[in-house]
Copies of this chain bind each other. A is one copy, B any other.
Amino acid sequence: EPVALRNEARVLVINTGGTIGMTLNDEVLIPQANAFVQNLRKLPLFHDEKYAQETCLFEYYGYKSLVLPLSKSKSRIVYTFLEYNPLLDSSNMTTDDWAKIGKDIEENYENYDGFVILHGTDTMAYTASALSFMCENLGKPIIITGSQVPIYEMRNDGIDNLLGALLIAGQFVIPEVCLYFYNKLYRGNRSTKVDNGSFNAFASPNLTPLATAEVDITINWDTVWRANTTERFKVSPKLNRNVGLLRLFPGITSATVRAFLQSPMEGVVLETYGSGNAPDNRPDLLNELKEATNSGVIIMNCTQCLRGTVLKDAGLIAGHDMTPEAALSKLSYVLAQEDLNLDEKKMMMAQNLRGEMSADLAGA
């Protein structure tokens, strides 16, 4: 039977590093090149060697390819590993690494039905947010996952996380950058890490999960974001790093605010109180904010709603219910759009680009 006629879905697995693929070496957990795909090949849960032989899988797809056992829906998921060298600790992830991931997806976009990115948990929500903005006109699932305990350990969450991510990426056309963890699929730019000691490490505080995978996989199609576009997929790899997050607190000095807003800072997420409030008896503070916006710094008021008018007067933009991770990476992405002027960038920041904020809040 020719390949084209087989009921096979193809998934590209980009292994950037992280706990999921680590192995133990002299009592210390270390990442080890190429070990991951070789280990998976030995696990019948992750690879059907008989099918691979019968179909000459490696000839068609390369020796770093594996094939899942037949799924309940009688389809096959063939997945191919692309492993980074060296493997990356997620604490060390940079905007250059995001650009590299984006480029790799772009280059392989036409050849695969979905993408799974293995990643450490520490900055996973940042990477998911950044990729959601960098990937324009996305039409296929990109699912980022990892684990709290390495897959080589007996009791681990890596098996479930990787299997679930592969099955969803290969079987459902969810055109979003997602994060999959502990049987739940979240929108990437809505997720945040909440627990270091539990398998249930991520949450999506302001949006219900896109899917749950327990006895059955249930997709909440109403929640899935669909870009209203017919344009071609492309990745925008440029990111502006002159951004930062500033948290208001009682007693904050104008010196602190001024220092933080000084050049070369171009975009700031301002974490205000409760529902978007800031002091209105502190002309020194408001003045610093106003001067900064006047000189072209974009400041997002990152809360659920913008009740007061004080901060609008100072030129701030409402961030609604965006997470700090999403707001920071959106700023990075928007500020890097070289063909836009400042006002256009500000308008873009106020728009719901990838489902990163609640649409019904937009007019609030």
Interface membership of chain A positions 235-248, coded 1 if the CB is closer than 8 angstroms to chain B and 0 otherwise: 00001011111010
Binding stretch for chain B, among A6-14, A153-161, A292-300, A351-359: A153-161
Among A149, A244, A328, which residue has the most Cβ atoms of chain B within 10 A?
A244
| A61 CB–B CB distance under 8 Å | no
- In the assembly, what is the distance between CA of A130 and CA of B249, in Å? 11
| A108 CB–B CB distance under 8 Å | no
By a CB distance below 8 angstroms, the chain B residues around A278 are: 91
Pair B241/A215 contact, Cβ less than 8 Å: no
| A2 CB–B CB distance under 8 Å | no
Interface membership of chain A positions 324-342, coded 1 if the CB is closer than 8 angstroms to chain B and 0 otherwise: 1100100010000000000
Pair A154/B91 contact, Cβ less than 8 Å: no
By a CB distance below 8 angstroms, the chain B residues around A35 are: none
By a CB distance below 8 angstroms, the chain B residues around A90 are: 273
- In the assembly, what is the distance between CA of A143 and CA of B290, in Å? 37
Pair A214/B196 contact, Cβ less than 8 Å: no
Min distance, Cβ A279 to any Cβ of chain B, angstroms:
5
By a CB distance below 8 angstroms, the chain B residues around A332 are: 251
| A264 CB–B CB distance under 8 Å | yes
- In the assembly, what is the distance between CA of A160 and CA of B159, in Å? 10
Could you say which of B44, B45, B250 contacts A98, with CB atoms under 8 Å apart? B250
Binding stretch for chain B, among A52-60, A132-140, A225-233, A255-263: A255-263
Pair B196/A127 contact, Cβ less than 8 Å: no
By a CB distance below 8 angstroms, the chain B residues around A123 are: 249-250, 273
Pair A259/B265 contact, Cβ less than 8 Å: yes
Nearest B residue to A261, CB-CB: B259
Min distance, Cβ A26 to any Cβ of chain B, angstroms:
14
State the copy count for this chain. Answer: 4
Could you say which of B163, B239, B244 contacts A256, with CB atoms under 8 Å apart? B244
| A32 CB–B CB distance under 8 Å | no
| A111 CB–B CB distance under 8 Å | no
Among A92, A94, A155, which residue has the most Cβ atoms of chain B within 10 A?
A155
| A148 CB–B CB distance under 8 Å | yes
Pair B163/A155 contact, Cβ less than 8 Å: yes
Min distance, Cβ A258 to any Cβ of chain B, angstroms:
9
By a CB distance below 8 angstroms, the chain B residues around A95 are: 250-251
Pair A68/B250 contact, Cβ less than 8 Å: no
Contact of A245 with B250 at beta-carbon distance under 8 Å, contacts A43-B43, A215-B199, A304-B196 already known = no
Contact of A250 with B126 at beta-carbon distance under 8 Å, contacts A91-B273, A242-B256, A280-B91 already known = yes
- The 22 sampled A-B contact pairs (Cβ below 8 Å) are A43-B45, A94-B250, A97-B250, A123-B249, A123-B273, A154-B163, A155-B164, A155-B167, A159-B159, A160-B160, A196-B305, A198-B214, A198-B215, A242-B253, A243-B251, A244-B260, A247-B324, A249-B328, A256-B265, A259-B259, A259-B260, A260-B260
- Return the 4 tightest CB-CB contacts between A and B, nearest first: A122-B273, A122-B274, A95-B251, A91-B277
